[in-house]
Amino acid sequence: IAAAIVTVEAMLAIADAKLAASAYLAGDNFTLADIAFGYCLFRYYDIDIERCDLPHLRRYYDLLCQRKAYRSHVMVPYDELKV
């Protein structure tokens, strides 16, 4: 698990660098890229792990969390995902 977290955080660091220059992944407007990436971030921030410091990514995640649709459709309990 530790190795997987290192790998994921290396990829998230790329997004963090991009988000240093814009509100969203593809610029200053919310796009399909944010929808595709946003669900991964909820799982990343929802699990109980120690995370590296990615301030732009955290700001972006907090911005996503302000969206009603994100809270309603992405930030769902894991129990709802079980079959």
Two structure tokens written together for 37: 């990436």
Q: Which residue has the tokens 């969203």?
A: 24
Structure letter (DSSP) for residue 67: S
* Arithmetic mean of pLDDT over the chain: 93
Per the DSSP assignment, residues forming a β-bridge with 24 are: 27
The string of pLDDT tens digits covering residues 30-69 is: 999 999 999 999 999 998 899 999 999 999 999 999 999 9
Above 70 in pLDDT, residue 83?
A: no
For residue 67, report the phi and psi dihedrals to the nearest 5 degrees: -80, 125
The span from the CA of 43 to the CA of 46, in Å, is 5
pTM of the model: 0.89
- The pLDDT value recorded for residue 1 is 86
pLDDT band at 79 (very low <50, low <70, confident <90, very high): confident
